[in-house]
Amino acid sequence: MPKKGRRQQNVKDKKFIFAKYKYTIAIFAGIAAVVAVAAYFGIHSLIPVNSNVPVFSPPVNTFMKATYSPQTGYVFTTQSSTAARPVNVSGYNSPTIVLKLGALDSIHLINEDSDTRSLHNLNIDAFNVHTRNLGYFESQSQTFIANKIGTFVYYCSIHPEMRGLIKVEQ
Ligand SMILES: [Cu+2]
C-alpha cells in the first residue's frame, strides 16, 4: 500500500475505534463525573464548620429538639446524655451542653414544634454554627470542633428566649 493510503487507513481505523467504543467511553466519563461529585461532597461533609480541613474521626452527637409547650414556651430540649446535661441557669431556658476541649461535635437540630409550627434555627456564634430556618419536622446537622475552653451561648435567632450554654472543659 502507498504511504499516503496507509495513513488514511490509520485515520479511518481510529475513527472506527472511537465510533465502536463511543458508548463505553460515555459511560465511563459519566461514572467518573458521579464519583468526582460524590467525593467532593463527601469530603465537604467531613469539614467542620469552624475548620478548613476534613476530620476523619467519629463525632459525638448532640440531638436538639426545638419545641413549644404552654408551660415552657419556646425551648430547646435534648436527651443526649453524653454531650448534654440539664443545668438550671437563670436567663437560659435550654439545657447546658458539656464538651471536652478538642471534641468533634455534630449538632442535630429537629423542629418538633407541632404546637405553633414556627420556624426555628440554632446558632453558636463562637463555633460558626448556623443552621437555616427549619420548618416543622425539618432537620439539619452541623459539625464543629470545640476548640476553645469556656462557656458559650447557643440560641434561636427567631425566639430570643430559646437560649442555652455550651461549656467546653479541659
Ligand atoms: Cu425558635
Domain boundaries, the chain: 3-45, 60-169
Cell of 31: 461514572
As a whole number of angstroms, the distance between CA 105 and CA 110 comes to 16
As a whole number of angstroms, the distance between CA 1 and CA 55 comes to 63
- Dist. CA 157 → ligand 1 center (Å): 7
Q: What's the whole-number mean pLDDT along residues 53-82?
A: 91
Across the chain, mean pLDDT equals 88
Q: The pTM is what?
A: 0.77
- Dist. CA 94 → ligand 1 center (Å): 11
- Dist. CA 156 → ligand 1 center (Å): 5
Cell of 75: 425551648
Strand runs labelled E in 50-138: 60-69, 73-78, 84-85, 96-100, 104-111, 123-124, 129-130
Q: What's the whole-number mean pLDDT along residues 39-64?
A: 87
- Dist. CA 75 → ligand 1 center (Å): 7
**Which of the pair, 69 or 39, is modelled with greater confidence?**
69
- Dist. CA 81 → ligand 1 center (Å): 22
Measured CA to CA in angstroms, residue 74 lies from 66, 113, 121 at distances of 7, 8, 12
> Domain 60-169: which topology?
Immunoglobulin-like (2.60.40)
In 21-88, which residue ranges form alpha helices assigned H by DSSP?
A: 22-45
pLDDT confidence band for 154 (50 / 70 / 90)? very high
**pLDDT surpassing 80 at residue 82:** no
- Dist. CA 158 → ligand 1 center (Å): 5
